[in-house]
Every structure is written in structure tokens, then in C-alpha cells.
């Protein structure tokens, strides 16, 4: 086989493969599928954009193809639904524009009765609007008002606390405040404690003196005891000599 023949064969094969790939991709992308166009209406075109997804049960089934304004000032929204998804669009389907707080806006399709007849392309249902952002803002508005009110109250309270703190400062640390008074009292107490030290020393001294005195008392007591004993003996001697006293007898009365 000649060289030219081989090159020709390679180019033809490559071209065929490329064409087949392109055809496959085109098919997969729905190039050959039939697309149905439905028209929706809305009083405002705000938030609608071309290419906006049309969602059924969380799945993309189509997208907004074009936006037009008719003679009556109504916005017409043309959506394209491929043939395989057109079964979800029925006469009793409702369309709602959903603007979530986070994420892109989309048109939600809700079909309560899938058994109802398919929606004709000339029917123009109106699109309802669910606006999470506005709802959130509406809900947040009173909260914001309340927060503002609270902030004002806090500010007022803070001013009062400030004033009170100033007064307390004055009362505690002021010239005639509590702390200087306490200091004064403590100084007084300290002074008195010092005086008490002297008193305690005196008491110790007195106690020592008394203790020493007690020794004298003991000596005195023993002296007195001796004297009493001597006197007692003398008395007994005299008693014995003079009165012939009989031996005392302890009897029961």
C-alpha cells in the first residue's frame, strides 16, 4: 500500500471519528430534541433574566428563553422545555418566581395533578412571586426597630450607669467618701491597738506581779497556818490542864 493511500485513510478515519463525536455531543446536548416553548406572564419583569432555570421538584427542566413586553405592558416570559420534560407541564401547573436569600432566582413549576391534560402552548399563565429577600427584610424590619430601641435603651442606661458610677466614685473615693472614712477608722483602730499594746503589757506586768504576790500569799498562808496550829495547841493544852476535858466522842444524834 502506497504512502499516499495510508495518509488519505488516516485523514478520513479521523474526520469520521470527529464527526461522530460532534454528533454524539450534539445529541447529548439536546440539539436534535424537540423543544416546546411556553409563554408566561408577569406584571413586572424585575428579577427575570434570560437563561433563568425552570425547576420542577428540584430538577432543571428548562430555561427562560426570552422576555418581551406586550402592548398591555405585561411582561411575557418565554420558556423552553425539551420534549422529555414537557410531561411535567400541565394545564393546572402553577409557575412561581422564587428569589431565595442565597442563590440564583428561578421559576418553580408545581403540578398538583399529573393526570391533567398537557398545557397548550398558547395558554399564558401568570407567574407568582416568592421573594425571600423581601420577606426576610419585612420580617427583619420590626426586629431592626426593636434592636434600635434596645440600643437606644442601652445607651440611655449606659448614660445612667455612667452618672451613677460618677456618683459612686464620688461617694467612695471623694473627699468625704467611704474609703477615706474607712482609712480614717483604720488609722484610729491602729492607734488604739498601739495603745492596747501598752495596756496588754501593763496587764502582763500586773499578772506577773500578782503571780509573784501569790508566792508571798503562800508564804503568808503557811505562816498563818503555823500560828493557828500553835494557838490551837496552846488552847488544847490549856483546855486539858484546866477543864479536865474528856476525850471527845463522835456519836450519832
Partner 1 sequence: MRKILTVAIVIFICSCGSNSKQVPDWKDAAFRQLENYKVNFLTGKEDASEPHFDKARQAASGGNDLNLLARIYLNKYALHTAALEDFDDSEFIRINKIQPIASNFAYYNFLKGNFTAVEDSLLPSNYSGFIKIARSKDLAKAIQEIPSIDDPLSRLIACGIWVKCLPYDENILQTAINVSADNGWKRPLWAYLTKLQKYYLDRGETAKAESIKERLELLKK
Write out the residues near partner 1 by the rule CB under 8 A: 236, 240-242, 244-245, 247-253
Strand partners, 56: 59, 109
Nearer to partner 1, 102 or 252 (CB): 252
Q: Do the beta carbons of residue 32 and residue 82 sit within 8 Å?
A: no
Whichever of 215 and 246 has its CB closer to partner 1, that residue is 246
Nearer to partner 1 by Cβ, of 215 and 244: the residue is 244
Least gap, CB of 235 to partner 1 (angstroms): 11
The span from the CA of 37 to the CA of 54, in Å, is: 12
Burial class (CB in 10 A: 0-12, 13-18, 19+), 131: middle
In the bound state with partner 1, the residue whose beta carbon lies nearer, of 20 and 235, is 235
> From the CB of 194, what's the least distance to partner 1, in Å?
44
Min CB(237)–partner 1 separation in Å: 9
Is the Cα dihedral 17, 18, 22, 25 positive or negative?
positive
**Nearest approach, Cβ of residue 224 and partner 1 (Å):** 16
Residues 6+ apart with CB under 8 A from 186: none
Amino acid at each position: 500500500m502506497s504512502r499516499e493511500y495510508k495518509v488519505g485513510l488516516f485523514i478520513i478515519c479521523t474526520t469520521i471519528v470527529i464527526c461522530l463525536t460532534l454528533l454524539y455531543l450534539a445529541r447529548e446536548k439536546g440539539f436534535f430534541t424537540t423543544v416546546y416553548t411556553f409563554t408566561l406572564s408577569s406584571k413586572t419583569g424585575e428579577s427575570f433574566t434570560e437563561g433563568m432555570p425552570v425547576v420542577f421538584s428540584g430538577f432543571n427542566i428548562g430555561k427562560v428563553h426570552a422576555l418581551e413586553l406586550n402592548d398591555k405592558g405585561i411582561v411575557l416570559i418565554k420558556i423552553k422545555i425539551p420534549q422529555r420534560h414537557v410531561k411535567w407541564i400541565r394545564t393546572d401547573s402553577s409557575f412561581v418566581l422564587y428569589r431565595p436569600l442565597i442563590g440564583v432566582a428561578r421559576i418553580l413549576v408545581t403540578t398538583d395533578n399529573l393526570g391533567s391534560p398537557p398545557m397548550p402552548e398558547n395558554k399564558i399563565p401568570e407567574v407568582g412571586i416568592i421573594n425571600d429577600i423581601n420577606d426576610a427584610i419585612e420580617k427583619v424590619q420590626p426586629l431592626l426597630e426593636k434592636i434600635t430601641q434596645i440600643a437606644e435603651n442601652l445607651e440611655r442606661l449606659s448614660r445612667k450607669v455612667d452618672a451613677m458610677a460618677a456618683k459612686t466614685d464620688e461617694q467612695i473615693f471623694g473627699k468625704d467618701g467611704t474609703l477615706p472614712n474607712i482609712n480614717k477608722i483604720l488609722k484610729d483602730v491602729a492607734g488604739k491597738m498601739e495603745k492596747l499594746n501598752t495596756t496588754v503589757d501593763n496587764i502582763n506586768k500586773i499578772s506577773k506581779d500578782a503571780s509573784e504576790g501569790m508566792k508571798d500569799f503562800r508564804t503568808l498562808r503557811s505562816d498563818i497556818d503555823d500560828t493557828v496550829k500553835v494557838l490551837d495547841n496552846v488552847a488544847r493544852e490549856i483546855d486539858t490542864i484546866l477543864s479536865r476535858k474528856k476525850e471527845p466522842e463522835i456519836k450519832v444524834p
